[in-house]
A and B are shown apart, each in its own frame.
Chain A
Amino acid sequence: MTTFTCPAPIAANDTILLGHGSGGKLSADLLRDIFLPAFANPLLSRLEDQAIFEIAGARLAFTTDSFVVKPLFFHGGDIGSLAVHGTVNDLAMGGARPLALSAAFILEEGFSLADLRRVVDSMAQAAARAGVSIVTGDTKVVERGSGDGVYINTAGIGLVAEGVNLSASNARPGDAVILSGAIGDHGAAILTHREGLELDGAIASDSAPLHDLVDAIFAVTRDIRALRDPTRGGLASTLNEIAAQSRVGIELRESAIPVHEAVRGACEVLGLDTLYVANEGKLVAIAPAEKAEAIVAAMRRHPLGEESAVIGTVTPRDPGLVTMRTAFGTTRIVDMLAGDQLPRIC
């Protein structure tokens, strides 16, 4: 079949849109047109969530992430715990146990010290629970109006488990696609908070460190092709990246993908598709089919993987395309979005 990519080139006089931060096609354009050509090197061009390199016989993973979430405090977490979990998870998706984190704060003039203390305490607790220390940092203050209270950047290094070689370009036809639990909790928690939706039973973010769950997988087998945490852009964007980088098709089964009832309801009201809603405590594993059952069983024994399931398979058909077998027995495409999801008018 023909490939349907028709990227509109970023013109010199164009500007940054919010969609460039969505994790969708616009984000990919930014990488391709601005960052990758400028920084070109073999570690970066692998396009993983972390760089992995060898120093004195040890394989280290190195990653960084910035956090600009609004509201700063939400049900199930806050910007502080998120900043720890996000970077721990980017390391874990490279098969690494976190060793140390950095934390940099961009504070807005006028931000309440009590709120800052709350955020920092939450970071400290999250780091302690994840068994990692925050060993270096930085603070800057910007004028009132130039920030949203606080932005946090964290970076992390971790030690990659032996015998593990994970990459989004490793998926092979026949592999199983495993998901660690229900999708959309984090994004739905943030959006319902932002829109002031009063729902029966607030939706809590799933923000959590995933390296222990990854260890549970490695206890079954280290023969895993790829691990990814489907954060911004959701499950759909993550799977599209894997399909594109591995040049394979991915076929999902709609009925196998868990979604919590409250999240489904919230997304229905907001006119959003849960497949594109962010997660902060879920992972996708691509693994050889014959090991899938044992992996899922091990994941289900872990508190962060109780709803784990095989949700689809990697196929040789339609390379780069993610499709879904619907509950009606029909097939549809699960596309990469251009930018953020927009609520529909009716």
Chain B
Amino acid sequence: MKYLDEYRDAGLARALAERIRRRVTRPWVLMEICGGQTHTIMRCGLPELLPSEIELVDGPGCPVCVTPLEIVDRAIEIAGRPGVIFVSYGDMLRVPGSRSDLFRVKAAGADVRIAYSPMEAVRIARENPHRPVVFFAIGFETTAPANAMAVRQAKREGLENFSVLVSHMLVPPAMRMILRSLANRVQAFIAPGHVCSVMGFREYEVLSAEFRVPIVVGGFEPVDLLESIAMLVDQLEDGRAGLENQYSRLVTRTGSAPARRIMEEVFEVTDRQWRGIGPIPASGYRLREAYTAFDAERLYGAGTIRAAEPPECIAARVMQGLKKPADCPAFATRCTPGHPLGASMVSSEGACAAYYAYRRHTAPEVPA
């Protein structure tokens, strides 16, 4: 496959690993932000290729993982209402709420459907004018434009039976929170390429300058990630701290203006709760006033659901790079993908789940 195979080339990967090995003189802690990047790193076993000085820690960028328990509970509650067609991206269906998950309410009779795009939900609403259709609009800046477009389209068509349950997160505020923390260990970041393809990387230039931290906008294939790491190691070893763009085949400094325009038309910035991490100011989107008719939270009653995370889960520290999945006594024993205790085990892109699926054979034994 063109544009993919060259970024999965084993020879190129080994050459980059060798370049990193030659360049590195002391330990560095690097964080990849996006869950898709974590997935590739684990799946390809990239840590095995890297010198022991390079420690990769996995960031908070798995959208499924950081969707708050309360929102999952609300989704389950709405999906269970008579007549509702609830439409979601596939990997949200298995995410456990406090008592159930969307697969289970489906089995109990709810009409829950998987879609690859929110426009499919708009089509379902058009075809079922007498039934309420709710789309679960989650994700980062990557999914926000498509979700915004679906809402705008529904408004244009006057689809009164369509609404969205919004839980959109923004990446830069989460990075800022990590960098501000006194416990922070992260010395350089691989910024999420797909988010930057929409947003550009000006926000990351600001972060890099403000905190004097190297940031490379990186892609998602193994060669992309190794090249990003090599670029970060060069900066760290040189004592530089700037913004560089590895993913230039998709990302420009200003991003996609049309995509941002539609997001800005439909969404406005709001405080958001991050599962496993807690509240972060100005870290997400909600629907603007002009679109509140499409807000499922308003339509179906707002925020009385409260839920608490299991106290032994260390997901918050894992997602800030302070702990590794295998540091957790519950990892792979009381907490597995089939029975997740917390945020980073619930989706295959979560750090704990990816580590469990691909790397647990390399984990040091942890007393249970």
Q: Which chain A residues have a beta carbon within 8 Å of chain B's beta carbons? A: 1-2, 4, 6-8, 14-19, 25, 195, 261, 264-265, 268, 270-271, 318, 321, 323, 326-333, 335, 338-339, 342-346
- 9 A–B contact pairs at CB < 8 A? A7-B338, A15-B107, A321-B361, A326-B45, A328-B222, A330-B46, A342-B114, A344-B349, A345-B92
In contact, A342 and B1 (Cβ under 8 angstroms): no
In contact, B49 and A328 (Cβ under 8 angstroms): yes
Provide the residues of chain B in CB contact with A4, threshold 8 Å: 332-333, 336, 356, 360
Provide the residues of chain A in CB contact with B365, threshold 8 Å: 1-2
Inter-chain residue pair count (beta carbon < 8 A): 126
Instruction: Name the residue of chain A whose CB is nearest to the CB of B88.
Output: A345
In contact, B49 and A346 (Cβ under 8 angstroms): no
Cα A6 to Cα B336 in complex, Å, equals: 7
**Chain B: number of interface residues, binned into ranges:** 35 or more
Cα A333 to Cα B337 in complex, Å, equals: 14
Besides A7-B338, A330-B49, A343-B116, 19 other CB < 8 A contacts? A2-B333, A4-B332, A4-B336, A6-B333, A8-B339, A17-B103, A264-B1, A270-B116, A327-B10, A328-B44, A328-B45, A328-B222, A330-B45, A332-B43, A335-B358, A344-B347, A344-B348, A344-B349, A345-B63
B342 within 8 A of A: no
In contact, A265 and B14 (Cβ under 8 angstroms): no
Cα A19 to Cα B13 in complex, Å, equals: 37
Residue interface bits B321-365, CB-to-A below 8 A is 1, else 0: 000000000001110111100000001110000001111111001
In contact, A346 and B103 (Cβ under 8 angstroms): no
Provide the residues of chain B in CB contact with A18, threshold 8 Å: 103, 106-107
Cα A166 to Cα B104 in complex, Å, equals: 38
B142 within 8 A of A: yes
Given contacts A4-B332, A346-B63, contact A15 B108 (CB under 8 A): yes
Cα A268 to Cα B194 in complex, Å, equals: 16
Provide the residues of chain A in CB contact with B139, threshold 8 Å: 345-346
Given contacts A342-B94, A343-B89, A343-B114, contact A333 B359 (CB under 8 A): yes
In contact, A8 and B91 (Cβ under 8 angstroms): no
Cα A271 to Cα B143 in complex, Å, equals: 15
Chain B min CB distance to A345 (Å): 4
In contact, A261 and B334 (Cβ under 8 angstroms): no
Cα A328 to Cα B56 in complex, Å, equals: 18
Provide the residues of chain B in CB contact with A335, threshold 8 Å: 356-358
Cα A323 to Cα B359 in complex, Å, equals: 10
Instruction: Name the residue of chain A whose CB is nearest to the CB of B89.
Output: A345
In contact, B338 and A268 (Cβ under 8 angstroms): no
Provide the residues of chain A in CB contact with B114, threshold 8 Å: 342-343
